[in-house]
């Protein structure tokens, strides 16, 4: 096994565990990434590969070369991209569908353990979809909301209901371009059809359809997933959590939930607090039960329940390598098959729970929302029973406290309180130039880049330039590991104007807005900003950029596409899957920008990402006729300028009261 050629991670906890893995010869994604070079043709750099029919696969590596059917480089690039978007959208949306089923079961009283925890959110969501609420029982409304959601997946004609909540100007663009999604499933199915051998072979036409499918995710499946999660489990608001491997406990039963859905993990949160089970753990010699998360399941329960996160995507194997995990319970998405291989070296039991996901070598306990509590307790019991099998542990003593939970509802509240909630202060901060603009740093880890490095280089540079950063998914967990999700970072690591805003509100400079399915929250926030006034009247007017510097999943392409169709400039890292086609690259950049105001570009150099981000933000500021960014005008307020004064003894403070 080759030694990694590059620094695998900037995370000292990860490095510590990787050293051990290397020493004992256990392979991880990090080590395999240095063994496997991505196929330059499959990845779209030095060629393009079409395997949609069995006349091929056709590998095209020269200009003007066509496939056996005559498909051009551009058509193949567009088709491959569209299929990825469809797969990503399907994943998000299917997640949303399952939540809708859970809500339906809860409304019918058929799902033990599930209740409507956030009635206010239920009413708000019902109102969005014109579901009557006045004088009706909560469960009745919930059932209507669930049925409405379920119907949208199979809807064949018309428009998805959330489309009407976008700014009017944006809706008009979508209708004009014919990309308003008709039904969530239909759009994904249609992409599969269109990209089947011998169908749609006009790159621009294919890409337009890809955008419609992406919108069915962002303004459909994902948005339903977010809203229903909030209804069932509560709308997130800031709470203190912790991230990184150091959250594992040497003397407690450690259970890790990994994947994307909150449905089962919320039940496990309840189960680990069960006094009987805690007693059982004690009986097995543990001091208690410690639950932690990985990936987006972790985000879901951290922002709602404050359950700590053991790390982001690339930490899934590392957590097992600590030797301290009794059970890793996984649901859907981003679950590496290597988990069972790594776990075979330890006592850790990998438990798959989704009817859609099985891993060879893992224990399968199929989750069913109708019996969720019992299943969750069973799982916890298994983990406890496994505790005595634990051998030596190597938990890095590295973790960082974080404050996640910035739902758009809370953002609204935090800017004005119960009585004055609004986005006005945020819009004014941008208009005045205290906040230069907003960047969403989202997306995965990818072992072909040093873990977290791109995220951190970009985030720290943007913050110094007074760009407020919002984050979701594995990018958000990364930000947390390096202290960016603490209020303290808003005092020390940001430009003067942003510092004033962070100090005024008490926020960290990077706002953790949830899991990757919660990028829909960002759409809602941008919509509210556009509606509040002062920053134009469409999403594309706002000085904002979307970034996914370490992306790896197809979901990331779906997110990027719905953000672009919604008017955002999106910069992704790693490498461009359509690089070999100049035409497709051009359509995604200049072409889309001229129609949608948003564009998709792939940039690997962090400094260049920052440069383009700031350039775009400044361009939007000029278009809005806002004053040019000038940090020297700001920084006089907050506690920071008085830090020395507050350290004086009270008598001296009083003596200097008047200056």
Residue ranges binding other proteins (CB under 8 A):
238-240, 401-403, 413-422, 424-429, 432, 434, 486-488, 500-501, 503-507, 634, 636-639, 641-642, 645-646, 653-654, 656-659
What is the nearest approach in angstroms of other proteins to the Cβ of residue 640? 8
437 bridge partner residues: 467
Cβ–Cβ under 8 Å, residues 65 and 39: no
Q: How far is CA 550 from CA 178, 260, 359, in A?
A: 32, 18, 26
First to last CA, the chain: 68
Task: Report which secondary-structure segment, H or E, holds 600.
Answer: strand 599-602
What tokens were used for 645?
A: 């004064």
Cβ–Cβ under 8 Å, residues 370 and 112: yes
In a 3-state reduction of DSSP, which class is residue 9?
strand
In a 3-state reduction of DSSP, which class is residue 545?
strand
| Cβ-proximal residues to 338 (8 Å cutoff; 6+ apart), any chain | 27, 28, 29, 32, 317
DSSP conformational letter for 314: G
Q: How many Å apart are CA 553 and CA 659, to the nearest integer?
A: 58
In a 3-state reduction of DSSP, which class is residue 402?
strand
Q: How many Å apart are CA 462 and CA 510, to the nearest integer?
A: 10
Q: How many Å apart are CA 51 and CA 569, to the nearest integer?
A: 31
Q: How far is CA 536 from CA 526, 543, 569, in A?
A: 11, 10, 16
Q: Is the peptide bond before 417 cis (omega within 30 degrees of 0)?
A: no
Q: How many Å apart are CA 49 and CA 27, to the nearest integer?
A: 29
What tokens were used for 408?
A: 């758009």
**262 phi and psi, to 5 degrees?**
-85, -10
CA atoms 241, 246, 250, 253: torsion sign: positive
How many C-beta atoms surround the C-beta of residue 260 within 10 A? 28
Instruction: Residue count of the chain, please give it.
Output: 659
What tokens were used for 550?
A: 């370490």
CA Rg value for the chain:
25
Q: How many Å apart are CA 5 and CA 36, to the nearest integer?
A: 12
Cβ–Cβ under 8 Å, residues 380 and 358: no
How many C-beta atoms surround the C-beta of residue 58 within 10 A? 18
DSSP conformational letter for 3: P
- Which residue reads 């987006």 in tokens? 296
In the complex with other proteins, the residue whose CB is nearer, 344 or 630, is: 630
């Amino acid at each position: 096994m080759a030694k990694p050629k590059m620094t695998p991670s900037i995370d000292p906890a990860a490095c510590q565990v990787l050293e051990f893995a290397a020493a004992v010869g256990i392979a991880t994604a990090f080590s395999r990434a240095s063994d496997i070079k991505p196929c330059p043709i499959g990845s779209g750099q030095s060629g393009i590969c079409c395997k949609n029919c069995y006349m091929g696969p056709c590998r095209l590596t020269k200009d003007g070369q066509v496939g056996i059917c005559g498909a051009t480089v551009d058509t193949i690039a567009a088709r491959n991209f569209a299929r990825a978007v469809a797969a990503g959208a399907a994943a998000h949306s299917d997640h949303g569908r399952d939540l809708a089923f859970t809500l339906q079961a809860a409304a019918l009283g058929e799902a033990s353990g599930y209740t409507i925890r956030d009635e206010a959110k239920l009413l708000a969501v019902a109102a969005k979809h014109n579901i009557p609420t006045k004088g009706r029982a909560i469960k009745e409304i919930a059932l209507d909301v669930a049925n409405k959601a379920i119907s949208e997946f199979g809807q064949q004609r018309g428009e998805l209901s959330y489309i009407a909540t976008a700014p009017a100007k944006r809706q008009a663009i979508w209708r004009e371009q014919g990309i308003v999604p008709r039904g969530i499933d239909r759009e994904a199915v249609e992409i599969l059809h269109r990209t089947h051998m011998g169908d749609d072979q006009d790159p621009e036409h294919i890409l337009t359809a890809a955008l419609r499918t992406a919108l069915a995710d962002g303004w459909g499946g994902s948005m339903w997933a977010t809203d229903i999660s909030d209804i069932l489990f509560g709308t997130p608001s800031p709470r203190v959590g912790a991230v990184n491997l150091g959250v594992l406990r040497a003397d407690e039963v450690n259970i890790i939930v990994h994947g994307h859905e909150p449905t089962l993990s919320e039940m496990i949160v309840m189960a680990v607090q069960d006094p009987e089970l805690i007693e059982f753990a004690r009986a097995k010699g543990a001091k208690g039960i410690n639950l932690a998360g990985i990936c987006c399941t972790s985000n879901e329960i951290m922002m709602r329940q404050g359950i700590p996160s053991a790390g982001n995507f690339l930490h899934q194997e590392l957590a097992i390598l600590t030797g301290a995990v009794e059970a890793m319970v996984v649901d859907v998405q981003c679950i590496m098959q290597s988990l069972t291989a790594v776990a075979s070296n330890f006592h850790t039991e990998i438990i798959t729970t989704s009817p859609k996901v099985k891993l060879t070598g893992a224990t399968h306990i199929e989750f069913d929302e109708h019996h969720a509590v019992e299943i969750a307790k069973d799982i916890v019991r298994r983990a406890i029973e496994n505790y005595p099998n634990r051998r030596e542990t190597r938990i890095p003593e590295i973790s960082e406290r974080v404050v996640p939970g910035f739902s758009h509802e809370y953002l609204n509240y935090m800017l004005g309180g119960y009585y004055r909630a609004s986005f006005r202060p945020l819009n004014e901060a941008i208009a005045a130039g205290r906040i230069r603009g907003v960047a969403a740093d989202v997306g995965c880890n990818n072992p072909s880049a040093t873990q977290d490095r791109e995220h951190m280089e970009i985030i720290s540079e943007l913050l110094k330039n007074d760009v407020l950063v919002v984050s979701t998914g594995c990018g958000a967990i990364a930000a947390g590991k390096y202290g960016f999700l603490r209020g303290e970072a808003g005092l020390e690591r940001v430009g003067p104007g942003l510092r004033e805003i962070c100090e005024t509100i008490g926020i960290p400079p990077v706002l953790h807005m949830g899991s990757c399915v919660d990028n829909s929250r960002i759409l809602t926030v941008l919509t509210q900003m556009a509606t509040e006034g002062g920053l134009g009247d469409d999403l594309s007017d706002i000085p904002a950029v979307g970034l996914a510097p370490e992306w790896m999943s197809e979901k990331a392409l779906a997110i990027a596409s719905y953000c672009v169709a919604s008017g955002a400039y999106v910069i992704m890292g790693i490498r461009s899957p359509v690089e070999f086609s100049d035409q497709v690259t051009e359509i995604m950049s200049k072409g889309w920008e001229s129609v949608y105001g948003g564009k998709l570009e792939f940039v690997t150099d962090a400094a260049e990402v920052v440069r383009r981000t700031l350039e775009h933000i400044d361009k939007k500021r000029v278009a809005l006729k806002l004053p040019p960014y000038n940090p020297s005008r700001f920084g006089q307020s907050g506690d920071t300028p008085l830090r020395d004064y507050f350290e004086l003894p009270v008598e001296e403070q009083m003596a200097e009261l008047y200056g």
